[in-house]
Amino acid sequence: MARIGVFVCWCGSNIAGTVDVEKVREEAAKIPGVVSALDYKYMCSDPGQNSLRNIIKEKNLTGIVLAACSPHMHENTFRKAAAKEGLNPYFVEIANIREQVSWVHENKERATAKAVDLMKMMVEKVKRDKPIEDVRVPLNKKALVIGGGIAGIQAALDIANGGVEVILVEKEPSIGGKMIQLDETFPTLDCSSCIMTPKMVEANQHPNIKLYTYSEVEDISGYIGNFKIRIKKKARSVIEKDCTGCGECWNACPMHKNIKSEFNVNLSERTAIYVPFPQAVPLVPVLDRSVCLHFKKGGKCQKCYDACGPKCINFDLQDEIIEETVGAIVASTGYDLMDTSMYGEYGYGKYKDVVSGLQFERLLSASGPTEGVIKRPSDGKTPQTIVFVQCVGSRDPEKGVPYCSKVCCMYTAKHAKLFAHKVHGSQSYVFYIDIRSTSKGYEEFVRSTMEQDGAIYLRGRVSKIYEDDGKLIVKGADTLSGNQVEIAADMVVLATGVIPKQGSDKLAQMLGISYDKYGFFTESHPKLRPAESSTAGIFLAGMAQGPRDIPESVVSGSAAASKILGLFSKNEYEVEGTIANVNESTCVACFYCQRVCAYNAISKKEIKDRSGKLIKVVANVNPGLCTGCGACVNACFSKSIDVKGFMDDQIYAEIKALAI
Amino acid sequence: MANTKTDEKLQKIAKDLLESGEVSLIIGYTKGSNSQRMRPLFVTRTEDADKLSFSPNAVQDLAVFLKKAEVKKFGKIGIVVKGCDEKAVNALIQEYQISRDNIKIIGVECNGVIRQNIADKGETNVSESTVYDKCLICEEHIPVLYDFLVESEEPKLVLSGKVKPYSEIARLESMSSEEKNAFWANEFDKCIKCYACRQACPLCYCSRCIVEKNTPQWIDTNSEETGNAQWNLIRAYHLSGRCIGCGECERACPVNIPLMLINEKMAIDVYNMFGYKSGLDINAKPVFGVFSENDFNDFIK
């Protein structure tokens, strides 16, 4: 016999202001099976919880209903309180009379009637609750980090320093990501490679980190605690363990013309066998087979092989497939820059001296194509006047993206500053929409670019750039003075907008995590769960989530790492027991459930008799993957799947409670 | 009646299949108790293969038997199918109810089958006024998938366009919601809950139908207004995007509910909205089992 307790919460005046809580309590007391009904100012408070626990004890309750706020807020609180009195925590049901009643209605009488209905439904539901045990999933205490930029490296180092093994996979021949391409960094002007290379080296040498560069994650299956990973390690054509990184091979390579250096953003050339930059980690070259003479001309050229002392060049090396099992994943795939050639009026791609922000970084960098001397690409002359254009692609819903790329205001100020430092007597102009410089030391940094380094900031957009007599004529508006301006510049730098890394949507689909309409990975909760993806066990870091600067990327890498270390501090992971449950006797194995399952949680199970003869095939739910979303329940024609805690007879009883 | 060339071809194929042991059962048609009727035949012995036959009176969709445990236990099965029926075989393969490896499809080219009520009156001509509506819109006179094909000796079906198949659909579409409700209330009022529609349907293969679920009892089993509407509409929804249009439910209905109006309307809607037709490709994902970001969702208001 059911012995139900109903607890009606006032939530101060939040509920009691609009709902007659006493009336709800009185109505509850009339329902058969309800042995106790109480209303109280704050059920979630300590005295509230204590009275709940006392009544469970006194009246020997078999189930409780809280007419209170959303289960999102306090379901857990009350489940824990009930569990302390020995009640299965799933015998707690919440009738949400705050978010769904008092906050959305004004008429007290009708709001009260609705609150009574919701309470009645939950009483009928709780009567039919069955004990549910949480599912425990064992954890493989090993982590995978996808993407070896600053966020990924930070995550990998923090996890590894916590004593957990990490696999760090990087698509490019070297880790370092975009940050290693930068020159000095705002607002402190420390050189990027000076602060980054120690971290790269540490990641490479860390006993807990296994580094796979020039590798891609090809397939991921499984679930939190038990992800099966397949990594493709692309053939480098160089035996890594023997290579000393001496450079004889790339010095010998005859292909030193017409292959653009990706690292220098097409501002220099590289050889067919190459390291992207001198501090690459690992310092092992990659042979680019798409341009190598050996592969293009039937094996005739082997100059690199001849030059190699330890004979570690092997043209026959094949792609390798590596399989690993990990318990958690960090997705930190970073970003790309928008292709600005679609802004025809800016002439990017048409005029050599119109460059992107990242190209300008390379021109500033001591390890760049000009060894840190600013020379314009067309004729190698040092520019005296540079126009910087902000928001190229960003904040432009028409042609680009509507969001702000966040880092451009700051790096443009840095560019103008470094230009002034390197070319004395030079002049820079910055076209901007707004200046966004909100972090520590940022506003002061921009100010000093204007005031000490003499950059002229013009609020407005550039309408056209064209070449005239060796100069780039920049036409734009200065909206503050209301004048049209025309500047004859030697160079133009476009602050190109940030977009997600190409292919990140494919990766998200493989991981089963959600992403926004631009392709940035979305957080489980934008404010309160910023490091978690929508899928348990998969965490996010860096620019793959959206535009952010280096300190924020580092923080997010550390956040993901701390989440993983927290997860791995236990031996098992507990999943809520409200998951799908198959009635094997009526399942006809059409597997529509499997087709609609977004979490790959349903597989085929063979039922055999004692002699091993197959009797039937049925659907089988993997408790580690199932989130209890209920899509399978809807898809099942024969109604052979239920979600525990939301069983058919419970839903039916709830509906019937409304009809009485 | 003597064997036609079609019959001989069928019998030869069946004999070979049984003799070689490639199948242990062949489901086909044989001549019925009178000349206007064909009936299903289950052949397990080579000598019985001579009884196989086919004619424009072979109205039944034999794929319905594939869902039965008594049939399944034979393992490898051969089946004689018209183009429409063959789509049911495909749908069953798509829904994992049978394996392509376990079935030999003996496809018969069909130029239309004569409506049984007319055939019973002695009609023997295949023409647009004598065949079922499904034959008038048929695009699979030759089955889309087969292991053996028996070509037809019948003349091709000539369509003048005078007979409009499923013309009631257009009439129903032009009605107001109230009129439609009244129309169907009137039709469902006749339902006696005999479930012949379900039994005749090759795709109603659940071992426990939703109407038989009684904890809770979602559908009233009494033959009354609510339960009748629930039953017929839920069955229609369960078949939307799945029904291959063989029309067996309507043919089986003892009280003549025009069930194909719902099924065909559903099929048209599914095609218009999702570009999917059931039973055309064993490798296609059933429309209910796929989600695409491009799916229309203007019904979410």
Domain spans of chain A, in order of start: 4-127, 142-234+319-334+512-567, 235-317, 337-499, 580-644
| Whether B226 contacts chain A with CB within 8 A | no
Within a domain: B157: no
B96 → closest Cβ in A589, A638, A639: A589
A595 → closest Cβ in B215, B238, B289: B289
Within a domain: B299: no
Cβ pairs A/B, distance under 8 A? 55
β strands within A258-318, DSSP E:
273-274, 286-287
> How confident is the model at residue B299, as a pLDDT?
73
Domain A580-644 -> CATH class: alpha beta
Q: Helix (H, G, I), strand (E, B), or coil: what is residue B216? A: coil
Question: Contacts of residue B202 in chain A, CB cutoff 8 Å?
Answer: none
Mean pLDDT within A268-279: 94
pTM (global) more than 0.80: no
* B25 and B123 co-located in one domain: yes
- Give residue-wise pLDDT tens across range A436-472: 999 999 999 999 999 999 999 999 999 999 999 989 9
Question: Could you give phi then psi for residue B255, rounded to 5 degrees?
Answer: -115, 15
* B56 and B122 co-located in one domain: yes
A282: cis peptide before it, omega within 30°?
Answer: yes
The label of the residue with tokens 């318990």 reads A327
- Give residue-wise pLDDT tens across range A579-625: 999 999 999 999 999 999 988 899 999 999 999 999 999 999 998 88
Are both A142-234+319-334+512-567 and A337-499 of the same fold? Answer: yes
Helix (H) or strand (E) holding A411: helix A408-422
| Whether B223 contacts chain A with CB within 8 A | no
The distance of A132 to chain B (nearest Cα, Å) reads: 19
- Give residue-wise pLDDT tens across range A358-404: 999 999 999 899 999 999 999 999 999 999 999 999 999 999 999 99
The distance of A584 to chain B (nearest Cα, Å) reads: 11
Under the banding of pLDDT at 50, 70 and 90, the label for residue A336 is: very high
Cross-strand pairs, B107:
B81, B149
Burial of A72 (0-12, 13-18, 19+ CB in 10 A): exposed
Question: Contacts of residue A640 in chain B, CB cutoff 8 Å?
Answer: 208
* B89 and B224 co-located in one domain: no
Give DSSP secondary structure letters for A128-167.
T----PPEEEE---EEEEE--SHHHHHHHHHHHHTT-EEE
Structural domain count, chain B: 2
Instruction: Note whether A272 and A259 are within 8 A (CB).
Output: yes
> How confident is the model at residue A576, as a pLDDT?
87
Within a domain: B251: yes
Average pLDDT, chain A: 95
Q: Do B218 and A590 touch (CB under 8 A)?
A: no
* DSSP structural state of residue B217: B
- Give residue-wise pLDDT tens across range A153-199: 999 999 999 999 999 999 999 999 999 999 999 999 999 999 999 99
Helix (H) or strand (E) holding A115: helix A108-127
| CA-only gyration radius of chain B, Å | 20
A592 → closest Cβ in B209, B210, B289: B289
Question: Contacts of residue B286 in chain A, CB cutoff 8 Å?
Answer: 592, 595
∠B284-B285-B291 over CA atoms, to 5°? 140
> How confident is the model at residue A294, as a pLDDT?
93
Q: Which of A505, A582, A605, A639 to mutate to test the interface with B (most CBs of B within 10 A)?
A: A639
Q: Do A595 and B208 touch (CB under 8 A)?
A: no
Cross-strand pairs, A467:
A472
Tokens of A84: 């302390």
* B30 and B144 co-located in one domain: yes
Q: Helix (H, G, I), strand (E, B), or coil: what is residue B233? A: helix
> How confident is the model at residue A659, as a pLDDT?
82
β strands within A224-313, DSSP E:
226-233, 273-274, 286-287
Domain enclosing residue B141, as ranges: 5-150
Under the banding of pLDDT at 50, 70 and 90, the label for residue B1 is: low
How would you classify the pairing of strands A483-489 and A226-233? unpaired
* B281 and B186 co-located in one domain: yes
Question: Contacts of residue A590 in chain B, CB cutoff 8 Å?
Answer: 95-97, 205
The residues in B 257-296 lying below 8 A from A, measured between CB atoms, are 285-286, 288-291
Domain A4-127 -> CATH class: alpha beta
| Amino acid sitting at position B273 | M
Q: How many CB atoms lie within 10 A of CB A163?
A: 10
Within a domain: B159: no
CA distance A318 to B267: 50
Instruction: Note whether B63 and B81 are within 8 A (CB).
Output: yes
The fold of the A337-499 domain, in CATH, is FAD/NAD(P)-binding domain (3.50.50)
Q: Superfamily for A142-234+319-334+512-567? A: FAD/NAD(P)-binding domain (3.50.50.60)
B216: cis peptide before it, omega within 30°?
Answer: yes
Q: Which domain-ending residue is among B87, B116, B150?
A: B150
**Residues belonging to chain A with any Cβ–Cβ distance to chain B shorter than 8 Å:** 585-586, 588-592, 595-596, 598, 617, 635, 637-640, 648-649, 652-653
> How confident is the model at residue A660, as a pLDDT?
65
Q: Which domain-ending residue is among B150, B185, B202?
A: B150
The label of the residue with tokens 């399989």 reads A323
Within a domain: B300: no
Q: What residues have CB less than 8 Å from A482, skipping those under 6 apart?
A: none
* B187 and B249 co-located in one domain: yes
| Amino acid sitting at position A474 | V
Mean pLDDT within A129-137: 91
* B146 and B178 co-located in one domain: no
| Whether B216 contacts chain A with CB within 8 A | yes
Mean pLDDT within B249-260: 96
Q: What residues have CB less than 8 Å from A65, skipping those under 6 apart?
A: A4, A5, A6, A7, A28, A93, A94, A95, A119, A122, A123, A126
CA atoms within 13 A on the CB side of A621: 28
